[in-house]
Chains A and B, each alone.
Chain A
Amino acid sequence: MHEAEPTAQLIDAFVVPTTKGAAVFVETHYCELDAETGPFQLAIYSPMVLSRGEQAIIRSRVEGDLFTNAVRNCQLGNRWFLELCMGLVGLGVFALLVAFLTINYVAIFAAIFWALPFGFGPLAVQALRSVRFRRVGKRARSTLQCGEFLPEVVVGRNGDAVARLRELWSVVESKDQFVDVMRLEHEARFRARWPAAALFYRKLARLSPGHNQASLLRRVIFKAGEWFEPDATPRLIATRSR
């Protein structure tokens, strides 16, 4: 592998154990990358040596993911003031309607009351998102305008990350206990103290119910955890055998 470019912004991809092999996930939040700071470069953390073909596949998928994310976010905050005005107009119409329905209440309006959030809610959310995430939108536009993804893949050298990854792999290498996705999630959370990996395993458990042998209650708790941490969304890039 090559050395990291001095100006490059590294995108960290981790090869972590699963029940049947290994999976690659990206921990870096694409929304925090700013193309004006420098080009993007993939840094892979893996306990085993990956062939160059595997690196190429991972790189292509991360690049596709990164730019897809940028396209999704590029409209955020673009003319955010106008978006805010639109939201306020919508709010005004909503307030007028609620006042009207309350004053002239008849039975059929009860059903309409319940439906109102579904009609007006998304418009308000759209306006709020545009204002709240205007910097994310700006970075996404800059990614599309001048974002360059370097073809060379580098070895991840962050000491903390390497240590966390080793902790996680030691779970499957010890072989003295049955390992399922939930067990790995638990180890990532408490032993490796790695929230991103824990989230990744929760996501993996949801994607593959066959791997998920935890109780219903535990699954519900995991699901609830996602609501509290909506921004941290590690992405599954590829799977491989060990």
Chain B
Amino acid sequence: MINLSCWAVPIRDGYVLRADQSAVSLFGSAPARNPQFWGWSITVVHPQEPMFSAPLARRAAIFAVDYLRHASDFKTFRAVGNRNWWTERGLGFVLILVSGGHWVPALAGIWLLVGHRWLRRLIGLDAGISSVPVSPTQEPRIVSEVHDGLAKIGRAIDGIDDVLVAYAAAATYARVEGLEQVAEVYDSLAGGVHPAQLDPDLGFWVGNEIVHDVSRPALPPPCDEHDSSNSDLSEESRTR
């Protein structure tokens, strides 16, 4: 299984769920891995022990991770081999220009321009890494764990009355703790953005009244979630 992590960033009226940056590299490398490892094990890291209703945490974490999966689908590693593209092509072009009809520089120019790439492709040396879209092949496993840094931040913002000041302070605390991704969420909230209007890049808001009420999950029950993750995402967008 792929071990993913998801931040549950504490805010005044709930949490913002955001997948950790490591999900980008994990999903980026997943197409090259054996599909039997395409299952997800998501750890939701949160500030205090008993804050989440399990169904909701499960849904929200899958949303956050799934968003990053779609965002990273096209960020594979194709660009690695193209680092010298311009120097090779440029020199090849110059060699053809100055060849003046001589076959040797012209041959070298053609070799640099297209020759070696064509030959590599012909003999199958540049076989690309599989770019099959990754989707979980097993039921996602969700667990939650306490994060001390988030707990400190949660306690800090509880003691400040003004919401925007609290978020600004929380951003500072988060940076002190080395939690840059968490700080980005607070920065946005400190700018006056309502949690419901946060950019999906920054996370998904889960309000307090639904966090604590297991009988009122914010979303439909978690059936077929990994088979219909696309529709889930659009459904979430409509809800918000």
Binds B, one of A52-60, A154-162, A210-218, A220-228: A52-60
Q: How far is A67 from B1 in the complex, measured between Cα atoms in Å?
A: 13
Binds A, one of B106-114, B202-210, B217-225: B106-114
Given contacts A53-B46, A63-B22, A240-B178, contact A112 B104 (CB under 8 A): no
- Chain B contacts of A94 at CB under 8 A? 108
A90 interface contact, C-beta 8 A: yes
- The 0/1 profile, CB within 8 Å of B marked 1, for residues 77-95 of chain A is 0110011001001100110
Do B91 and A115 touch across chains, with their CB atoms under 8 A apart?
A: yes
Q: How far is A116 from B29 in the complex, measured between Cα atoms in Å?
A: 35
Do B34 and A144 touch across chains, with their CB atoms under 8 A apart?
A: yes
Do B32 and A144 touch across chains, with their CB atoms under 8 A apart?
A: yes
A8 interface contact, C-beta 8 A: no
Nearest CB of B to A26, in Å:
13
Do B45 and A53 touch across chains, with their CB atoms under 8 A apart?
A: yes
A232 interface contact, C-beta 8 A: no
CB nearest neighbor in A for B128: A75
CB nearest neighbor in B for A123: B116
The number of chain B residues with a CB under 8 A from chain A is 59
Nearest CB of B to A113, in Å:
11
Binds B, one of A145-153, A170-178, A187-195, A200-208: A145-153
Q: How far is A54 from B47 in the complex, measured between Cα atoms in Å?
A: 11
- Chain B contacts of A123 at CB under 8 A? 88, 116
Do B125 and A56 touch across chains, with their CB atoms under 8 A apart?
A: no
- The answer, among A20, A54, A75, A144, for a CB contact under 8 Å with B147, is A54
- Chain B contacts of A20 at CB under 8 A? 176
B146 interface contact, C-beta 8 A: yes
- Chain B contacts of A57 at CB under 8 A? 5, 20, 22, 45, 147
Do B23 and A71 touch across chains, with their CB atoms under 8 A apart?
A: no
Contact residues, A95-123 vs B (CB, 8 A): 96-97, 99-101, 104, 108-109, 112, 115-116, 118-120, 122-123
Do B124 and A59 touch across chains, with their CB atoms under 8 A apart?
A: no
CB nearest neighbor in A for B43: A56
Given contacts A82-B123, A145-B34, contact A56 B45 (CB under 8 A): yes
Q: How far is A53 from B94 in the complex, measured between Cα atoms in Å?
A: 57
Nearest CB of A to B183, in Å:
12
Do B25 and A51 touch across chains, with their CB atoms under 8 A apart?
A: no
Q: How far is A93 from B95 in the complex, measured between Cα atoms in Å?
A: 12
- Chain A contacts of B129 at CB under 8 A? 71, 74-75
Which A residues form the contact surface with B (CB < 8 A)?
20-21, 23, 50-57, 59-61, 63-65, 67-68, 70-72, 74-75, 78-79, 82-83, 86, 89-90, 93-94, 96-97, 99-101, 104, 108-109, 112, 115-116, 118-120, 122-123, 144-149, 151, 238-241
